Amino acid sequence: MNSQNVVIAIDGPAGAGKSTVSKLLAKMLNIRYLDTGAMYRCLAFKAIEAGLTVNDGDEASELLKGLEIQFGTGDPQPVFLNGVEVTADIRSPQVGEYASALSQFSPIRKQMVDRQKKMVADGGVVLEGRDVTTVVAPDATLKVYLTASLEERAKRRLNEFVDSGAATSFLTVRDQILQRDHRDITRDDSPLTVAEGAEVIESAGMSPLQVAEKIVSFLATR
Ligand code: DC
């Protein structure tokens, strides 16, 4: 298996460790990392700036047409929106809420998925996000559904917020994740679900490195 051609798609609920594991995997295999959630976050960031509400799906869909989203290399991976770096700006809880709400709108999802399919067409990429195993890359070399208990995921998200300097509490984060799970699982377009053929990894008690190594071991069987 030549890792330069592989497509590894990592799906799962909020806070399951998708980003940490995906970045680590991309580094281990020396392939690209595509954070599809960052693209929804870029749109959310612009929507907030434009004064839109979370219900303004049509306006946000129009807004998206004029947005150029690019990724650099590094950790954290730099994200550029129309040429301006927004890496830290798109990580706020408010942007996360907007991204989750706006991602419910099919015209937005369609544009995002079209862009993402092009970005993975050449292979050599780890992509992560809420529909990557089911819609963006259903034919990926390896599909992984990464999950953990609500408590565990809330703990991880809280640590990420604390590290980035955002003020919040465990109960607030847990509540947000619960609401996000509900929205992601029950939405009409591309609900969060375990794709056919996906390997399910329950990551409680495992370090990111252990999860990444497990994924590499699955890859060896493809
Ligand atoms: O993974 P994240 O928290 O950065 O994603 C932000 C939101 O974007 C998430 O609530 C759902 C949405 N999203 C999506 O609908 N499809 C994706 N492939 C990635 C993210």
Q: How many domains does the chain have?
A: 1
Q: Whose CA is nearest to atom 1 of ligand 1?
A: 37
What is the reported pLDDT for 166? 76
Residue 210 has pLDDT above 70, yes or no: yes
81 or 185, which is more confident: 81
Ligand 1 centroid from CA 101, angstroms: 9
16 DSSP 8-state letter: S
pLDDT for residue 1: 61
**Measured in angstroms, how far is the CA atom of residue 3 from the centroid of ligand 1?**
26
Could you tell me the sign of the dihedral formed by the alpha carbons of 200, 202, 207, 208, in that order? positive
DSSP annotation string for 144-159: EEEE--HHHHHHHHHH
Report residues whose beta carbon is within 6 angstroms of any ligand 1 atom. 14, 36-37, 40-41, 96, 99-100, 103, 129-132, 180, 184
User: How much is the average pLDDT of 164-182?
Assistant: 88
Q: Residue written as tokens 């056919």? A: 196
CB 7 within 8 A of CB 141: yes
Cα–Cα distances in angstroms (integers) from residue 24 to residues 72, 90, 101, 146, in the given order: 16, 21, 28, 14
The CATH number of the domain holding residue 149 is 3.40.50.300
Q: Is 169 exposed, middle or buried (0-12, 13-18, 19+ CB in 10 A)?
A: exposed
What are 100-112's pLDDT values in tens digits? Answer: 899 999 999 999 9
CB 127 within 8 A of CB 10: yes
Mutation to probe ligand 1, out of 11, 43, 86, 103 (largest number of atoms < 8 A from CB): 103
- For residue 36, report the distance from its CA to the centre of ligand 1, in Å: 7
The boundaries of the domain holding residue 7 are 3-219
Task: Scan for tokens 């370090």, then name that residue.
Answer: 207
Q: How far is residue 148's CA from residue 150's CA, in Å, rounded to a whole number?
A: 7
Q: What is the pLDDT of residues 23-71, one digit of tens each?
A: 999 999 999 999 999 999 999 999 999 999 999 999 999 999 999 999 9
Distance from C-alpha of 75 to C-alpha of 97, rounded to nearest angstrom: 23
Q: How far is the CA of 43 from the centre of ligand 1 (A)?
A: 11
Residue with tokens 């590290």: 163
Cα–Cα distance for residue pair 162/165, rounded to 1 Å: 5
- Return the structure tokens found at 187: 């939405």
Tokens read off for 213 = 């190594």
**CA dist 14 → 5, 64, 131, 156 (Å):** 28, 23, 12, 10
